[in-house]
Amino acid sequence: MTASPPITPEAMPIPRKAPAPARRNLVGLTRPQLRAALIEAGTPEKQAKMRETQVWQWLYQKGVRDFDQMTNLAKDYRARLKEHFTIEVPEVVARTVSADGTRKYLVRIAGGHEVEVVYIPEDGRGTLCISSQVGCTLTCTFCHTGTQRLVRNLTAGEIVGQIMLARDDLGEWPEPGRAPKDETRLISNVVLMGMGEPLYNFDAVRDAMLITMDGEGISLSRRRITLSTSGVVPEIPRTGAEIGCMLAISLHATTDELRNQLVPINRKYPLAQLLEALRAYPKLSNSERITFEYVMLKGVNDSDEDARRLVKLIAGIPAKINLIPFNEWPGVPYERSDWDRIEAFADIVHKAGYASPIRTPRGEDIMAACGQLKSATERARKNRFEIAAEAGLPQPERIVRRPNAPDVH
Ligand code: SAH
Ligand code: SF4
């Protein structure tokens, strides 16, 4: 046995400081979670309800990002909060403003991922289109987001944080005592129509929307929030029961055969199942209608016969049909229907008694239009041959460049 070497000062184990516990972000906690977190940080249980309300109002009613601004809290309590918590919303790394006033925010979330948020102003009000996932695991063949491989669910804080950062940019946090009324809000509506399938991230989306609707916070009515889904049927009843917001369905086809190709989740949850779930959606009425989104693809789903089948399919459901002129993106195998075709289609739907607005493409010049969103930092993307293979479509023709031919996008 050899004697162990003497311990020299250099070799002495350095007592390691316990790492500072990671501070928790308060943004995105539901009210019960916030209260529990405050208690865990030493707030006496008796005061917890009051503290929860105070902090909540600072965060969501006034938009404060610094504990020192929470002036109705004692200084030492603010210090305690600072020790345990942060107030963070995703960081805007780029902001582009379209010629038509549409604003697109490129937003960075933890892990260096990026998502896009789009604000569409209209007559002094406006709609904010937010994302629920980075990319999307579904592969609708006409959608740019669906070609992005990288996918992660956003947290509730990252979802409600998108609304908060847009309010920052628009200067919409109210002056004390002057909460915006729904009619005068710059962000009068929120739509979950950005990147991702919200019903594949149900819990975070629900929590974020409950925070958004809370009357002591952002206070946006559930009727001004629309969640768009490609048709994740098992989550539709929960959406009605636990969120209660308006529902939009990405329909896009009126037969299972075509919908299987365009919206592949249809193979799992075919049209009959989808429509049954919609008929059971709570509170459906003339003032609370389902929105059906229908992207107009030339020669694919835009015939008079398609329009007639559509109205038969949804018969009895209080509905509005949003016709979306297809937005092209590089490499996509579809084209936008001609304008007179879209109008003829709209006319048939309208005559059957349904509102059939044609969605004016907004922010196209900045790639902010529906289905054009996709992170610039994606690491790999599927090409149109892979998309076609996954959807069971015939392989697209390979484009052979002739000399002097114009660039093909
Ligand atoms: N994943 C959800 C939420 C995205 S909403 C869903 O699919 O419903 C975005 C809407 O834009 C959907 O109706 C989608 O089908 C539609 N869309 C996707 N790509 C499009 C494109 N290139 N042009 C027009 N609309 C598109
Ligand atoms: Fe995903 Fe919606 Fe795009 Fe389909 S349309 S790939 S569900 S984001």
Q: Are 331 and 384 in contact (CB under 8 A)?
A: yes
DSSP secondary structure string, 274-304? HHHHHHT-TT-SSSSPEEEEEEEBTTTT-SH
Between residues 366 and 45, the one the model is more confident about: 45
Binned at pLDDT 50, 70 and 90, residue 376 comes out as very low
Domain boundaries, the chain: 24-86, 91-385
pLDDT (mean) for 197-217: 97
Q: Does the CA dihedral 57-58-63-65 come out positive or negative?
A: negative
Say which residue, 182 or 300, is predicted with more confidence: 300
Tokens of 374: 């996709």
Q: Domain 91-385: what homologous superfamily?
A: Aldolase class I (3.20.20.70)
* pLDDT at 149 (0 to 100): 74
Residue 173 burial by CB count (10 A; 0-12/13-18/19+): exposed, middle or buried? middle
Distance 151 CA to ligand 2 centre (A): 12
Percentage of residues in the chain with pLDDT exceeding 90?
Answer: 72
**What is the Å distance from ligand 2's center to 226 Cα?**
16
Domain 24-86 listed as CATH 3.40.50.2020: no
Please, which pLDDT band fits residue 406 given cuts at 50, 70 and 90?
A: very low
- Tell me the pLDDT band of 146, cut-offs 50, 70 and 90: confident
Atom nearest to 144 CA in ligand 2: 3
Range name among 34-43, 181-190, 208-217, 318-327 with the lowest pLDDT average: 181-190
More confident residue, 238 or 379: 238
Q: How far is CA 222 from the centre of its chain?
A: 15
DSSP H helices, 150-214, are 156-170, 202-213
Q: Supply φ then ψ for residue 230, to 5 degrees.
A: -80, -5
Query: What's the predicted TM-score (pTM) here?
Result: 0.86
Whether residue 322 has its Cβ less than 6 Å from ligand 1: no
Ligand 2 neighbourhood includes 240 CB (under 6 angstroms): no
| Confidence grade of residue 56 (pLDDT, cut at 50, 70, 90) | very high
Q: Tell me if residue 116 is catalytic.
A: yes
pLDDT digits (tens, 9 = 90+) for 77-110: 999 999 999 999 999 999 999 888 999 999 999 9
Average pLDDT (308-321) is 97
Considering the chain, what is the average pLDDT of its residues? 87
Among the options 52, 114, 116, 293, which is catalytic?
Answer: 116
Instruction: Tell me the β-bridge partners of 244.
Output: none
